[in-house]
Structure 1
Amino acid sequence: MSRLPILILLLVLPVSAQVSGTVMDAATGLPKPDARVTLQATTTRDITNGQGEFQLPGVTGTGLVIVAAAKGYYNASTFVNPPATGVVLQLVPVPPMNDPNYQPVDPDNCGVCHPDQFSQWEQSPMALGAVNTWVHDIYDGTGTAGGMGGFVYTRDSVHAAGNPASECAACHEPETWIEQGHVPMSPVGSATPASLHGISCDVCHKVADIDMTRPNFPGIWSGVVEWSRPNPGEQVMYGVLGDTSIHVPGFMEPSYQPQLTAEVCAACHQDKNDPDANGNFEEPNGVISEPTYLEWLASPYADPMSPQAATCVDCHMPSYGATTVAVAFQPPQRDPSTIRSHRIEGTTPEFLEHAVELSITTQLGATSAEVDVTITNQHTGHHVPTGVTVRNMILLVEAWREEGNLELVDTGGQSVHALGGVGDPAQGYYGGLPGKLYAKVNHDASGQGPTFFTDATGITFDNRIAALASDTTHYSFQLPLGGGNFQVRARLVYRRAFRFLVDAKQWTLDGHGNPLADVQAPHFGHLMEERLASFSVPGPPAIAMFGTGCNGLVIGTGGPPRLGQPFTATLDGAPGLAVSFLLQGASNTSWLGVPLPIDLASLGQPGCFVLISPDTSHLAFVDPAGQASLSAVFPTNPAIVGSGAYLQWLVMTPSAPLGFELSNALSFAVQP
């Protein structure tokens, strides 16, 4: 068989072959197992075996960049033309870096090469962490004009004398904390570089390691978080791509740090307090104040094998369409899903409105509407709400009849906790209304609470909803008479702080200067979800005639009884100029224990019946034509819709055996 076709195929097809080799530890000269080896900007990757060996099959092209990476080492790269065997990549360990004179890189400098990331970060909560006015109000009352109201740490905390700085700066102004140790945040308006940087690029990208056996220590805590402070002429920037290859000594030296996807977040989003002030935040006597990381860790989202697997970065740093990570050094084109926004959002409208699912089910009873409202934490990788213990959600459930907009009364016992606000519901004080407050509520040593987390000694209750869990509450709304068309509405509202604290500090803006939804109508909080359910209940007819009258006496009406309108009862067939009475009663089944109707035939007046209970009577004079009428106007009170009575005319007739005759009767029910 001719080999020419095979030769032609080999000439025209692109080169596709294996790249293989070994990754070595440059310090020890030994093979480096468990290193990542990646064809740059692709998903073609291998993890080295125990002998440091790797294989990248099916690699096509020329001048390709292969990058080796491992935690604690600088990335190592080389160019290859496949097929290539015997490739050796030397991983150089990142040396210990703890220069006390190191100054964090100014984010403006980072923005020269990374303008997207800088512009995203610049107005993020991370950048504004040190100028958050709420933090200053809680610490020393200096953030806003009303900051001295409510709890002020330096004035009110039992720990203020022994720990005057507290640990605020460890998270909110970490550059100061790293440089100077256990110190307070810079005063409001001081405009120091550290206060203007907040949680800067360097703060996160210099975390060499975080000890996850001690996740509850706050912030950049020495001994728990290893933070690299490069010596002169050295540099390191930790990241998660693991295939960056820019090496500019003293300027940019990349190192793979997989903890940046989640564990590094725990530095500030997982901590306890220290009630005995001995510097150990992992003791059982501590109360967790920032629970977010461990909530995530306990959920399926933290399991890489789970269908729900997602890290903090996956949700809070979504991709935004970019295909390069920088504008300098000819960066490779990347899959947009690998390049993440540095806006780092959390409680923005987009996140709050896509956090949970809300549903309503209704079931009609004899006199009530039974309502179940279910909240499912379907889209959040941790509890809702999460974060500091002042965060809370309020579920509000209400029902009304559309006709007359009549509010229904809930006869169940499920109501919003007083922390939802005590006062006028029209101003957002929802305590006592049908619904539920979701929060983690702590208490101090005297059992009083909630208190600020620094002074907490225990948890009064924690009814927040865990990831993928649901919470159902039940309500029983009393149905009014008359039936009608009904609506049930459930709203879930997010609040950044308990209302009593907002009022005490007179907050109208959040800590970053944005209008505070907690004090804004109509929801007095950010509306996360809203659902409506409708149902109808048949009511009694407006008018129903029954029975027969004596000698052709007939009762009638001028139209249906409606709120705010005249209702007229008419009489026809009576003797002219007779005296008549419109009888009104509450029953057509009994009167003074005697069953109705009463047949008057036994009293000598056949064909006449007492059809209703004559509880009251109203005088009317018959005109010469044998007609009479009486009118009344119902008040415009929706509560009386569906209520009614029974009417029957009595006409004084001297020729009748009993001296009177009776008409037929009617029932009426007030309409909207």
Structure 2
Amino acid sequence: MQKSSPGGGRPMPSRPSHDLGMPGQRRSFTRHWISGLAGLAFLAVCLSIGLTLADEPAPVRGVVLAAEGKPAEGARVRWQGGAVAVSTDAEGAFTLHGVGRRVTAWKQGYFIAGQAATRSALQLRLRPLPDQDNLDYEWVDPRPDRRHEDRCGNCHSTIHDEWAASAHARSAGNRRFLNLYEGSDWHGRPNVGWNLLAEHPLGAGVCTACHAPTASERGVREDIRKVAGVDALGVHCDFCHKIAEASSERLGLSHGRFGYDLLRPTQGQLFFGPLDDVDRNEDTFAPLYKESRYCAACHEGTIFGVPVYTTYSEWLDSPARREGKHCQSCHMTPTGTLTNIAPGKGGIPRDPLTLSSHAMPGATPEMLRRAVNLKVHCDELLGEAQVKVEVAAGDVGHRVPTGFIDRQLILSIEGVGQTGRQVEATSGPLLSPLAGLGENRAGLFFAKQLEDLDGQAPVPFWKPCRIRADTRLKPGEPAEASWTFPAEGLAGVRIRLIYRRFHAEVQQAKAWPDDAICIIDQVVAVPPNHRWGR
């Protein structure tokens, strides 16, 4: 049966019983259904945002005041132990987001201030540093002792132990150093070999400036053998953390303590350091502690007219400096295991990558292997074995070797016969006799070489002398050389890279134990086109 249209026109077809209504009604229902879903989704988003905003605490606001209650503009404010810092505005005001238990503030020329966090406005007052150095200050012994609560090692045990095993802790009493200073040998016998006191007595007081920088008594400064107490501990904690600034005006000419501006308090205590949120009312932050300039006064020195230490100026000219790396990047690299510098003594958990190691390694086997790259190419041609070697200063911010002027790096090349006998090279550079490996030994000698005015070497820097050659490796400038060996009966070529701290001749005269470090010792076979590298 058909129904008539409302307007009386053509009859309309019948609809199945499950039809929900007119076409217009269906479209209306669909629109309402989609709108409802969209509304629910929007409501869910709003609720999510609302919950997120509700979970995020309100920021902490406050003001930092300096001397006489004046606003401290440009003060650095952070959650203690946190990574993000903000600066105060011209009114000393700050807004600090995030969460934490304590807020700290620091500004140049002031102690670090701190206050427990509250939701009410904070007011942090900065206390100015002393305006002059106290020359009568008594240095603090770093060694742990519960009878003396101010000892560094009582609270900072890990850092103390790292320092105690370092060269800095032994700088005043190093046995080889004293042998050169007083002319003795390893067994204490006098008048053996090089002797600063006998050969340049007016220069006897130079050494204490770096090796015992806190020695101040007249007579002790002129003879480092007389240092005692804290002064005998060399470059110790309290000295390093009293350095307010490092001068660069007379770099290399003002050594050790004379190259630093110290600030020692008359009352209470004062420590400079690399953390800007240590608020014990006796600490302040110094950016210097993360810069190579901090090391320069002792690691750059022209002594008696001779450039004995040039590590800092080498760094100034290095790719490492251009990449933003400093001495501390390699020599105070965080171990990744230290998370609290004073556990149980008021220290707080910190990111281990922000806490520097105080082991301060120098010429250790690990550091030397990082510092030098070696490539070897061997070929056999027309009955001869040809060996080409490239040596390069690798991941390092100075020349290799560096430090004291007598340091040496020796590349030794030896042919090894099938019966084990030594096969001499028929061409290629030979080692200097200063290397101490005998005559006619193939190889390269990397060192700053001094000679006396008659051309004789080795010679101590305190005698009249001149630089014969400086063949040390420079970052970015590899050294290459080739040698030829008779191929018949040749089993391989032994490549050794050896580091020495002193001339072999001096070491033998002083009866010092051999402390040479063999960085690489490898026998390379010589079939055609054999290559080996590290």
TM range (shorter): 0.7 to 0.9
1:150 aligns with 2:186: no
Structure 2 match to 1:438: 446
Q: Distance in 2 between matches of 1:533 and 1:22?
A: 69
Structure 1 match to 2:253: 217
What secondary structure sits across from 1:489 in the alignment?
Answer: strand
What secondary structure sits across from 2:289 in the alignment?
Answer: helix
1:366 aligns with 2:400: no
Q: Which amino acid aligns with 2:508?
A: D
Q: Retained in 2: the 8 A contact 1:21–1:88?
A: yes
Structure 1 match to 2:161: 119
Q: Which amino acid aligns with 1:14?
A: D
Structure 1 match to 2:496: 491
Per-residue CA shift, 1:595-649, capped at 9, x if unaligned? xxxxxxxxxxxxxxxxxxxxxxxxxxxxxxxxxxxxxxxxxxxxxxxxxxxxxxx
1:534 aligns with 2:532: no
Structure 1 match to 2:25: none
Structure 2 match to 1:227: 262
| Residues 191 and 208 of structure 1: CA distance in aligned 2, closer, same or farther (over 3 Å) | closer
| Residues 370 and 68 of structure 1: CA distance in aligned 2, closer, same or farther (over 3 Å) | same
Q: Retained in 2: the 8 A contact 1:485–1:536?
A: no
Structure 1 residue 408: deviation in Å? 3.1
Among 389, 394, 408, which residue is 2:423 paired with? 408
Structure 1 residue 32: deviation in Å? 3.9
1:200 aligns with 2:232: no
Q: Which amino acid aligns with 1:297?
A: L
Identity score, percent: 28
1:260 aligns with 2:289: yes
Among 211, 220, 242, which residue is 2:276 paired with? 242
Q: Distance in 2 between matches of 1:477 and 1:54?
A: 76
Q: Which amino acid aligns with 2:211?
A: H
Structure 2 match to 1:520: none
Structure 1 residue 150: deviation in Å? 2.0
Per-residue CA shift, 1:284-312, capped at 9, x if unaligned? xx331111112122212223xx2xx4322
Q: Which amino acid aligns with 2:278?
A: T
Q: Distance in 2 between matches of 1:499 and 1:349?
A: 19
Structure 1 residue 331: deviation in Å? 1.9
Structure 2 match to 1:470: 478
Per-residue CA shift, 1:450-490, capped at 9, x if unaligned? 3222335532111111234321121111222xxx6732221
Structure 1 match to 2:83: 43
* Number of positions where the alignment pairs a residue of Structure 1 with one of Structure 2: 478
What secondary structure sits across from 1:271 in the alignment?
Answer: strand
Structure 1 residue 77: deviation in Å? 2.6
Structure 1 residue 155: deviation in Å? 1.1
Q: Retained in 2: the 8 A contact 1:61–1:81?
A: no
Gaps of 5+ in 1: 248-252, 275-285, 422-428, 509-515, 518-524, 539-672
Q: Distance in 2 between matches of 1:48 and 1:471?
A: 53
Q: Which amino acid aligns with 2:84?
A: T
Q: Retained in 2: the 8 A contact 1:128–1:197?
A: yes
Structure 2 match to 1:128: 170
Q: Which amino acid aligns with 2:261?
A: E
Of Structure 1 and Structure 2, the greater helix share is in 2
Q: Give the superposed CA RMSD.
A: 3.0
Q: Which amino acid aligns with 2:111?
A: Y
What secondary structure sits across from 2:445 in the alignment?
Answer: strand
Structure 2 match to 1:460: 468
Structure 1 residue 81: deviation in Å? 4.8
Q: Which amino acid aligns with 1:258?
A: P
What secondary structure sits across from 2:402 in the alignment?
Answer: coil
- In the TM superposition, 1:456-605 aligns within 5 A as 457-480=465-488, 486-508=491-513, 516-517=514-515, 525-536=516-527
Per the normalisation by structure 2, the TM-score is 0.81
Structure 1 match to 2:393: 377
1:300 aligns with 2:319: yes
Q: Distance in 2 between matches of 1:476 and 1:368?
A: 6
Structure 1 match to 2:371: 355
What secondary structure sits across from 1:174 in the alignment?
Answer: coil
Q: Retained in 1: the 8 A contact 2:207–2:224?
A: no
Structure 1 residue 28: deviation in Å? 9.2
What secondary structure sits across from 1:131 in the alignment?
Answer: coil
| Residues 243 and 468 of structure 1: CA distance in aligned 2, closer, same or farther (over 3 Å) | farther
What secondary structure sits across from 2:296 in the alignment?
Answer: helix
Structure 2 match to 1:626: none
What secondary structure sits across from 1:127 in the alignment?
Answer: helix
Structure 1 match to 2:213: 174
Q: Distance in 2 between matches of 1:14 and 1:93?
A: 39
Structure 1 residue 214: deviation in Å? 2.2
Q: Distance in 1 between matches of 2:327 and 2:95?
A: 30
Q: Retained in 1: the 8 A contact 2:495–2:523?
A: yes
Q: Retained in 1: the 8 A contact 2:425–2:483?
A: yes
Q: Distance in 1 between matches of 2:94 and 2:522?
A: 55
For the pair shown, the structure with the greater C-alpha radius of gyration is 1
Per-residue CA shift, 1:348-407, capped at 9, x if unaligned? 2332333211110123321322211111211222111111111111100122343x3354
Structure number with greater CO (CA < 8 Å, separation at least 6) is: 2
Q: Retained in 1: the 8 A contact 2:79–2:99?
A: no
Structure 1 residue 497: deviation in Å? 0.3
Q: Retained in 2: the 8 A contact 1:358–1:531?
A: no
Q: Distance in 1 between matches of 2:465 and 2:170?
A: 30
Per the normalisation by structure 1, the TM-score is 0.65
What secondary structure sits across from 2:214 in the alignment?
Answer: helix
What secondary structure sits across from 2:358 in the alignment?
Answer: coil
| Residues 368 and 44 of structure 1: CA distance in aligned 2, closer, same or farther (over 3 Å) | same
What secondary structure sits across from 1:473 in the alignment?
Answer: strand
What secondary structure sits across from 1:442 in the alignment?
Answer: strand
What secondary structure sits across from 1:241 in the alignment?
Answer: coil
| Residues 458 and 32 of structure 1: CA distance in aligned 2, closer, same or farther (over 3 Å) | farther
| Residues 101 and 23 of structure 1: CA distance in aligned 2, closer, same or farther (over 3 Å) | same
| Residues 52 and 123 of structure 1: CA distance in aligned 2, closer, same or farther (over 3 Å) | farther
Q: Which amino acid aligns with 1:137?
A: N
Q: Distance in 2 between matches of 1:14 and 1:468?
A: 53
Q: Which amino acid aligns with 2:83?
A: T
What secondary structure sits across from 1:530 in the alignment?
Answer: strand
Structure 1 residue 447: deviation in Å? 4.8
- In the TM superposition, 1:625-636 aligns within 5 A as none
Gaps of 5+ in 2: 1-38, 144-150, 530-534
Per-residue CA shift, 1:110-147, capped at 9, x if unaligned? 11111111122223211111111222222222463345
Structure 2 match to 1:587: none
What secondary structure sits across from 1:375 in the alignment?
Answer: strand
Q: Which amino acid aligns with 2:363?
A: T
Q: Distance in 2 between matches of 1:317 and 1:348?
A: 14
Structure 2 match to 1:77: 114
Structure 1 residue 19: deviation in Å? 5.3
Q: Which amino acid aligns with 2:479?
A: D
What secondary structure sits across from 2:527 in the alignment?
Answer: strand
Structure 1 match to 2:147: none
Per-residue CA shift, 1:560-601, capped at 9, x if unaligned? xxxxxxxxxxxxxxxxxxxxxxxxxxxxxxxxxxxxxxxxxx
Of Structure 1 and Structure 2, the greater strand share is in 1
Structure 2 match to 1:66: 104
